[in-house]
Structure 1
Amino acid sequence: MQDQKKMNMLPTTLVLLTIIAATILNDCDAYLSEAAIKKTQQMLKSVCSKKYAVEEDVFSNIKKGIFPEDNNNIKCYFSCNFKTMQLINQKGSLDKKIFKDKMSMMAPPNVYSIFLPVIEQCIGKDNGEELCQASYNFIKCAHHVDPKSLEYLPL
C-alpha cells in the first residue's frame, strides 16, 4: 500500500520539480525547451487522467474545436491540470497574475507570446462558476483566441 502511494505521487512530484527547475532557470533566462514542455504535458495528462478518465477522441475533438458540454470528466481534468500546476488562487479560481508569472518563468518567449492574449482574454470571466466549469471555459476561450495555444496544454 505504501509503495502504491509513492508511485501515485511520482508524476505530481515530477511536475513540481519541473516547475521548480523552471523557476530557478528563470534567473538565468533559460526556459523549458519544447521537449520539456511536451514531457510536462505528458506528466500532467498522466496524473489527471487517472483521476478523471477521458477518452483520447475527446482530446482530439477539442484540438479541432469540438467541445463536449455533457462530459464532466474533461472539465475536471482541466481543473486538475491547473491545480497541479498551481495556477489556482486562494479563492479556488484561475488567477491571471499567477498564470502570467508561471508562464513567463516556464515558457520560452515564442510560447509566452501565444499565451499572453489567451491569459488576458480568458481568465477572469468565470463569474463565480465552479472550478471544473471555469477551467473548461478557459480551454474553450483559449481555442477561440488562438487554437495554437492548445498545443502547449496537456491534451
Structure 2
Amino acid sequence: MSQFTKYFVFLLCASSTLAMFDESTLSDDMKKMFKILHDICVNQSGASEALINKLKIAEFPEGDKNIKCYVKCLLVQTGAMDLQGNVDVEAAMDAIPDALKDGIRVGAQHCVAKFDHVTDHCQKAYLLVQCLYEVDAEAYMMV
C-alpha cells in the first residue's frame, strides 16, 4: 500500500471530527495528491462538486449514481476496494495507528458484513462510507 493510500485511508477512517479537521494542516504534497485523486474520481464518475461538498459535511444525498460512483472510485484508487467490489478491511488497517485499530476494525467489519450482499459496487461503496459515519461520526472524514 502506497504512502498516499495509507494517509488517505487513515484520514477517511480515523481523523478527528470533520468540523474540526483543518485542511490547512495537510502538507502541500498531500493536498496535491488529494487534488489528483479528486480529479480522477470526478472525471470517472461525473459527480458534481455540490454533492461532493455535501459528503464532506456528512450529508449523504440519495438518488445520484454519480456521487456513489465517486465514493467507489476513491475506495478503489486507495486500495480499500478492489474492482470486483471486495473490501479489504485489513489492508485499510495498515494505515491506522495501533491505538485506534480495534475500534475502527469492529466498525469497518460491521459495515462490510452489513453490505456484503450489495452487487452494485457504487451503491456498496456509498453505503459503506455512510455506515462508517453512522457507526462512528467522530471518525468520519471525506476528502
TM surpasses 0.5: yes
SS at match of 2:60: coil
1:57 aligns with 2:50: yes
1:93 aligns with 2:79: no
**Aligned positions, number:** 122
What is the one-letter code of the residue matched to 2:89?
F
Answer whether contact 2:68 2:126 (CA < 8 A) is retained. Answer: yes
What is the identity percentage for the equivalent residue pairs of Structure 1 and Structure 2? 19
1:18 aligns with 2:4: yes
Aligned partner of 2:105 in structure 1 is 116
Shift of 1:106: 2.0
1:80 aligns with 2:73: yes
**Following the alignment from structure 2 to structure 1, what is the Cα–Cα distance between the partners of residues 110 and 79?**
20
| 1:110–1:72 Cα change, 3 Å | farther
| 1:59–1:115 Cα change, 3 Å | farther
Instruction: Please list the CA deviations of residues 105-149 of structure 1 after superposition, one character each: whole Å capped at 9, or x if unmatched.
Output: 223346646632331221122213210010010111111111233
The higher relative CO (CA closer than 8 Å, separation ≥ 6) is in: 2
Unaligned runs of 5+ in 1: 1-14, 23-33
Aligned partner of 2:14 in structure 1 is none
Shift of 1:73: 0.6
Name the stretch that deviates more: 65-74 or 108-117. Answer: 108-117
Shift of 1:69: 1.3
Shift of 1:49: 1.4
What is the one-letter code of the residue matched to 1:100?
E
| 1:106–1:43 Cα change, 3 Å | farther
TM-score using structure 2 length = 0.65
What is the one-letter code of the residue matched to 2:4?
T
Answer whether contact 1:114 1:149 (CA < 8 A) is retained. Answer: no
TM-score using structure 1 length = 0.61
Larger-Rg structure: 1
**Following the alignment from structure 2 to structure 1, what is the Cα–Cα distance between the partners of residues 70 and 99?**
26
How much is the aligned-residue C-alpha RMSD, in angstroms?
A: 3.1
**Following the alignment from structure 1 to structure 2, what is the Cα–Cα distance between the partners of residues 130 and 18?**
27
Answer whether contact 2:93 2:105 (CA < 8 A) is retained. Answer: no
**Following the alignment from structure 1 to structure 2, what is the Cα–Cα distance between the partners of residues 85 and 16?**
8
| 1:74–1:114 Cα change, 3 Å | farther
